[in-house]
Amino acid sequence: MGKLFVVATPIGNLKDITLRALEVLKSVDTIAAEDTRHIKKLLTHYGISGKKLISYHEHNEEEMAEKIVQILEEKDVALVSDAGTPCISDPGYRVVKKAREKGIEVIPIPGPFAAATALSASGLPSDKFLFVGFLSNKEVEKEKQLSHYVDLGYTFILYESPKRVVKTINSIKKINQDADIVVAKELTKIHETFIIGKPSQILEYFEKNPDILKGEFVILVYPRKSQELDIETVLQEAKKLKKEGKKTKEIAILLSQKYGIPKNLIYDKIVDLDV
């Protein structure tokens, strides 16, 4: 029985590939790629030829997983994505899952990962972080997700498309206007760019540099740190809002947005408040 090699490939600069990854790509007969055009470019650059290329993507992954597993019953296969590490915010996990179920050995060949690459050069706290990937396309659901991640209080990492990046920064501004943000694009390429600032500063940069809104973006967000509440001010405002008929959860959300403080901290202060 063959082995499935999960091979990380460069996210931009073609030199960012490991010697081990090149050895695997040279040794296997079959390479399963999200888009064969991307892997052809890499193989040509390193003079690797004569490989059978199979295309798998989010629309045919279930079907192709079966086909790839059939090949694995006799031969080794390398699994690659368009860029970076397969299966992370990319198709591929169904292939790995099927291989595991069949008792096929799965061997990771580590390498580039855009989120980690951006975090390492961001200057944001990295002792604890959350990789989120892509948010919901629906604005209400997106804001709900962002509110949850902001409440966690540590750096979280998003992927975003050029069409939605401005809307996403606006949503972050609405929820936590004092958040520290780093936007990274063209990572490891000639025009690699890091944009650093508060949400309003990032939006101002985009407005002045509209040509930059191309390609894929990595957004890193560090929420504003919790601060001591002026409890008397909060209690007075909460009492007023309760008298108006608002529920405790709704009050916590409103005051959280006003003071830029996680809503769970405010909720704990006002949950047993009598009016």
The verdict on pTM exceeding 0.75 is yes
Q: What pLDDT, in 10s, does the model give residues 63-91? A: 899 999 999 999 999 999 999 999 998 88
State the residue for tokens 């191309």: 214
- Which residue would you say has higher pLDDT here, 262 or 33? 33
Quote the pLDDT of residue 228: 53
Higher pLDDT: 267 or 41? It is 41
Over residues 109-127, the pLDDT tens digits come to 999 999 999 999 999 999 9
Residue 219, token pair as written in the block = 């957004």
Over residues 152-167, the pLDDT tens digits come to 989 999 999 999 999 9
* 229, 259 contact by CB (below 8 A): yes
- C-beta atoms surrounding 25 within 10 Å: 22
Comparing 3-112 with 115-222, is the CATH topology the same?
Answer: no
Find out whether 86 and 80 touch, Cβ atoms under 8 Å: yes
Give me the mean pLDDT over the 50-63 stretch. Answer: 90
Residues whose CB falls within 8 Å of the CB of residue 19, separated by 6 or more in sequence, listed in order: none
Confidence of residue 188 (pLDDT cuts 50, 70, 90): very high
Report how far apart, in Å, the C-alpha atoms of 237 and of each of 40, 86, 247 are: 62, 50, 13
Q: Which CATH class is domain 115-222?
A: alpha beta
The domain spans of the chain are 3-112, 115-222, 231-270
pLDDT, residue 233, reads 79
Count of C-beta atoms within a 10 Å radius of residue 4: 26
Where are any strands of DSSP class E within the chain? 3-7, 30-33, 52-55, 77-80, 105-109, 129-133, 155-160, 180-185, 193-197, 217-222
Q: With respect to CATH, is domain 3-112 assigned 3.40.1010.10?
A: yes
* Mean pLDDT, residues 148-154 taken together: 91
Average pLDDT for residues 214-242, to the nearest whole number? 81
The mean pLDDT value for 93-115 works out to 96
Tokens found for residue 178: 């004092």
Q: How many CB atoms lie within 10 A of CB 114?
A: 24
Q: Say if residue 275's pLDDT is above 80.
A: no
- Across 237-262, average pLDDT: 83
